[in-house]
Amino acid sequence: MQLFMIGYRGCGKSTVGRRLAQLLNRRFVDTDDQIEQRAGLSIQQIFASEGEAGFRDREEQAVSECAKQDGLWVIALGGGAILRDANQNVIRNCGKSIWLRGSAQELYQRIHQDPATADRRPNLSAGGGYDEVLEILTQREPIYRELADLTIDTEGRVPDEIAEEIAAWARLHC
C-alpha cells in the first residue's frame, strides 16, 4: 500500500514525505522530480513547450508508474495531480492519501520564500502571486478533501512534527 502526499504547492509534501519515508522505512519518490529528470527539463520548461496538458500527461504516467512500484513507498504528488480522474483512481485504489493543508497566506509565503519555485514552477494563472494561490486553492480544496484519508493542518508546524504524526497514523491504518 502506497502513501500519497497531496496538497497545494508549498505545503511540504516533499519535505514531510522524505522524513515520513525514513520513519516508516519506506522508499520515497517525488513525481515532479521524476518528471523533470525524465524530460531533462524543469516543470516550467515543460509547461512552456508542451502546455499544461502535456505536463499533466507526463504526470499521469508518473503517478501510474509510482503506484505500481513493488514494496512500500511514500509518493509526493504535484499539487495538480489530483485534477485528473485517472490519478484520483490510482490514489483511491493503490493506497492511502495524506492531505497537507495550509492557509493561502502561509502557502503563498512558503512559495515566495523558496528560490527554486521561480525557476522550476510556472504561474498557473495570468496574475500569479497570492491571488493565484487563492484561486487555485479554492478550485482544488474540494478534491483534496474528498481524496484525503488523513488531513493534516501544517500551519505553523515543522516538517518533523508533521511526519511523526502521519507515521503514528500510518502504523495503525496501513
Instruction: Tell me the per-residue pLDDT of 63-113, one tens digit each, with 9 for 90 and over.
Output: 999 988 888 899 999 999 999 999 999 999 999 999 999 999 999 888 878
Domain borders along the chain are: 2-173
Tell me the one-letter amino acid at 114: D
pTM for this entry: 0.92
Mean pLDDT of 35-40: 96
| Three-class SS state of 4 | strand
pLDDT digits (tens, 9 = 90+) for 48-62: 999 999 999 999 999
Q: Burial of 70 by CB count in 10 Å (0-12 exposed, 13-18 middle, 19+ buried)?
A: exposed
For 105-114, how does the pLDDT look when each residue is reduced to its tens digit (9 = 90+)? Answer: 999 888 878 6
- Phi, psi torsion values for 146, nearest 5 degrees: -70, -35
- As a whole number, the mean pLDDT across the chain is 91
Nearest in space to 37 (alpha carbons), one of 45, 25, 27? 45
DSSP β-bridge partners for residue 75: 4, 29
CATH 1.10.3720.10 assigned to domain 2-173? The reply is no
Q: Which pLDDT score is estimated for 110? A: 87
Using alpha carbons, list the distances in angstroms from residue 72 to 94, 146, 161. 11, 23, 22
CA distance 154 to 163: 11
In 3-state terms, what secondary structure has residue 49?
helix
- pLDDT greater than 90 at residue 125: no
- Using CA atoms, how far apart are residues 70 and 82, in angstroms rounded to an integer? 22
Beta bridge partners of 152: 100
> Which pLDDT tens digit goes with each residue over 132-152?
899 999 999 999 999 999 999
The answer to whether the CB of 38 falls within 8 A of the CB of 66 is no
Q: Which pLDDT value is given to residue 118?
A: 52
4-13, pLDDT tens digit by residue?
999 999 999 9
Q: What is the pLDDT of residue 70?
A: 84
Which residue from 62, 58, 61 is spatially nearest to 50, judged by alpha carbons?
A: 58
Structure confidence at residue 131 as a pLDDT band (50, 70, 90): confident
Q: Is residue 120 very low, low, confident or very high in pLDDT (cuts 50, 70, 90)?
A: low
Confidence (pLDDT) at 4? 98
